[in-house]
Structure formats: structure tokens, C-alpha cells
Amino acid sequence: MNQELSATVARLLPEAEAFLCTLMRFESVPGSEQDAMEFCTREFSLPGVAVERIPLSNAIKNDPDYSTPVPGIEYDGRCNLRVVRRGSGGGRKLILNAHADVVPASEGMGHAFSPRVENGIVYGRGACDDKGQVAVLWLLFKTLDALNITTAGDLIVHIVVEEENGGNGTLAMVRTGETADGCVVLEASEGKLFTSIRGAIWFRVEFHGTAGHSGQVAMTKSALLIARDAIAALEKFHADLLAGSRGLPLFDPYPNPMPLTFGKLHAGNWPAAAPSLAVLEGVLGFLPNKTKEQVMDGMRKVLEETCAGGFDLSFLYRHDSSVIPADHAFPRTILSAAEAVGHPLEVDAMTASCDAWFYNNQLGIPTVVYGAGTLKVAHSKDEQIPMQEIGNAAEVLVRLAIDFSQPPI
């Protein structure tokens, strides 16, 4: 079986490459994924596969877990996709999730949405994050069809929008109340299986001062200097949070598995004037020993102590960590499947945040992260993915779909 599986994937890999390159030509930044979704609707309409458009609406903006780092996005007329390959009956149900949105082109990237292929490696925006993972799922379905395999349980794929700006697409999918026995969120994982995924908070702080001429120091209070002091205080808060988060085995090997990043700071309109407003935006990672509420409360307390009330703090994106034990039956089945097809995996922690927590924490579905390629090149001008790794991941997921779907004894 495994030799036939490998040969079939190898035969279909050129078609998967063509699928991926076409998908990458859609400039599907958050809010603009619909053309890519229509392409996937057509391409996933395979024998025995039902593709359902799951409509989105502006009502999602009222959800407490809605993320808002990109202003002005509208939802009416847009959709996620629910792709289902029915099982023979009585087996366990598996969800696979991947996202069709991408971040904008990086500085110096050139033709970000005109993919090129060199020596079996596909280059361009979305190659590994996350359109290469959508190609893995397409190849999975094509391989099951070519081998005439019917799994015992249903195989369900969620192709979603807006993972990059907080997971609003997956949020909409979990609000439908989908049930399953296991879930794999596909992100580049570099030959690893992530059972622990850290959380993250995107924040925005407006600092308020008193504007005035540079020669009137006693009458001014620079919002930019308030922001400077706040940055130092938040750096100390992060250092203390990291020190208090040691002792989590999968995260401990990393020097800083929960980075603090200050991405944007805007203030002032003239060199010789103290600004009355400074706006800081960034992201703070955190580990499973803390909840997002605890971290948000801690940040607010630090800013209150530092800025004496002259600030407005808002949170644009709030993800809790997602954890299942490494010895849980679901990851053990994935490890066995990978071993069986000759692509063994190592259990590790993911030092970035993704949509896994929606399924794991909110629906109670055991969830892991796995996929082709490496996140080291994601969001960069050198984004790429080897087609062979797409093939390897598809083999693992075919074996998983067969093995996991079998009814428990």
C-alpha cells in the first residue's frame, strides 16, 4: 500500500505544482480572497467530494473573539469553503484546516504574485504560508481518488479567509458548531508535529500628551517620550513573563519562544514640536501557563503605572495557547502514519500563533499543527516551498485519513 501511495503522489505532483502556482497568482490579502476561493471551489470539486460555500456576514464583527488589525474589511458576499469527502460510515471524523489569505508582498520581493519554479522549489507569496498547504489538501483528495480509497469516517476540509489578521475565517467556521474527533491545522512545520502552540495578543496604544514648541519644555508633555517609557516598561513586563514561563518542556529549548514585537509607532508632524499623540502597535506572545485575559490585564496594569492614565489601550487580536499532551492518541496516530510512509516527525512546540486554539479550546476537538515547508521563510521576500515536501505531507495525511478514521476498537 505505502509503495503504491508514494508512486501515486509522485505521479500527481506536477498537477499539484500547477494547482499551487495558479492559486498563488491570486493576490488574496485579507479581505480579497474571493477569487482564490472560487478557484478552490472548482478545483476541489472532485469525484465523491462536496464543496460548500459557507457565507460570511458583517455580523461576525460583533463576536467577542473577532480580530480587528485591518480596518474597513467587509464580509457580505464573501465565504469560507467546507469540503467534504464522505466516509463509508461509523468511522471517526477528521477536520483539516488551511487558509487562502496571504500577507502583502515584502519589500524587495518583486513579482510576489507571479510564482516561479526552480529545481522543484516554488517561490512567491503564499508558497508555504499557506497556499502550499492548500495544495497538500488538494493532492490528498486527488490521491485518495486515484487509489479508490474510501475512509471509514468523513474527511472535512475547511479552507478559510483571514488567518493572517487574527483568524476571523476559522472563527466563523467554529461558530457553525462543526464536530470531529481530531483536527490538523496546516501550517509549515519543518518536519515537526506541533502539539503545543503559543498564544498571542496584538495591541494598539494611544499615548496622550501636551503639544507645544520645543522651546517651551515646561508647558509640553511629549506623547512620543511617554511611548518611549511605555516601550521600556512593556519590555520588562515581557522579560518577567518569559522568566515565569520557564519549565514548559517543549518551549524551554527556545531562548525566546514568546517574542514581543513593536511593529508600528507614529507621532508628530514637525521636528521642533512636542506631539500630543503617539500611536504604538505590536504583538506579544505568551505561553500556555497564562491566559490571554491574564496577559491583557498585566499589560494594562504596567501602562497605568508608567503612563499615569494618559493612554488608551485596545487589543486587536487575542489568541490563547493550544495544547494537547504529546502522548494523546491523536498525535500518536499521526506519528505512526508518518513513520509508516517513511517521513517520520518530531513532536515540538510552535513558537508562533495560529488558528488551532479555535478548534482545540472552543470546540474541544484535539488539534495539532502540521504541514509542508518551513515558517522560517514565511512573510519574507524569499518565501518558498519544495514540491517534494508537499508530496511528503500529502502521503502522511493520506495514511492518517485511513488509519484515524477507523472506528475505535
Model pLDDT for residues 350-368, shown as the tens digit of each residue: 999 999 999 999 999 999 9
> In the prediction, which pLDDT does 220 show?
86
> In the prediction, which pLDDT does 409 show?
59
> In the prediction, which pLDDT does 70 show?
86
C-alpha cell at 363: 470546540
C-alpha cell at 88: 463509508
Q: Is the peptide bond before 35 cis (omega within 30 degrees of 0)?
A: no
Residue with C-alpha cell 512545520? 189
- The answer for residues whose C-beta is within 8 angstroms of residue 111's C-beta and 6 or more apart is 124
Q: Are 238 and 284 in contact (CB under 8 A)?
A: yes
Distance (Å, rounded) from C-alpha 249 to C-alpha 311? 37
C-alpha cell at 92: 471517526
Q: Are 184 and 368 in contact (CB under 8 A)?
A: yes
Instruction: Give me the phi and psi of 139, to 5 degrees please.
Output: -65, -35
- The answer for residues whose C-beta is within 8 angstroms of residue 19's C-beta and 6 or more apart is 43, 135, 138, 139
Amino acid letter at 162? E
3-state helix, strand, coil in the chain (%, to 5): 35, 25, 40
Domains and CATH numbers, the chain: 2-197+321-405 (3.40.630.10), 200-319 (3.30.70.360)
> In the prediction, which pLDDT does 2 show?
78
C-alpha cell at 73: 474589511
In three-state secondary structure terms, 98 is strand
Distance (Å, rounded) from C-alpha 212 to C-alpha 215? 8
Q: Report DSSP state, residue 221.
A: B
Nearest to 1 by CA among 152, 148, 182: 148
Q: Are 300 and 278 in contact (CB under 8 A)?
A: no
Q: Is the peptide bond before 130 cis (omega within 30 degrees of 0)?
A: yes
Q: What is the pTM of this model?
A: 0.95
Radius of gyration over every alpha carbon of the chain, rounded to an integer in angstroms: 23
C-alpha cell at 288: 500556555
Report, as ranges of residue numbers, the positions in the chain whose pLDDT lies below 50.
none
> In the prediction, which pLDDT does 219 show?
79
Q: Are 81 and 53 in contact (CB under 8 A)?
A: yes
Amino acid letter at 306? T
> In the prediction, which pLDDT does 350 show?
98
Q: Are 192 and 346 in contact (CB under 8 A)?
A: yes
Q: Are 204 and 262 in contact (CB under 8 A)?
A: no
Q: Are 323 and 288 in contact (CB under 8 A)?
A: yes
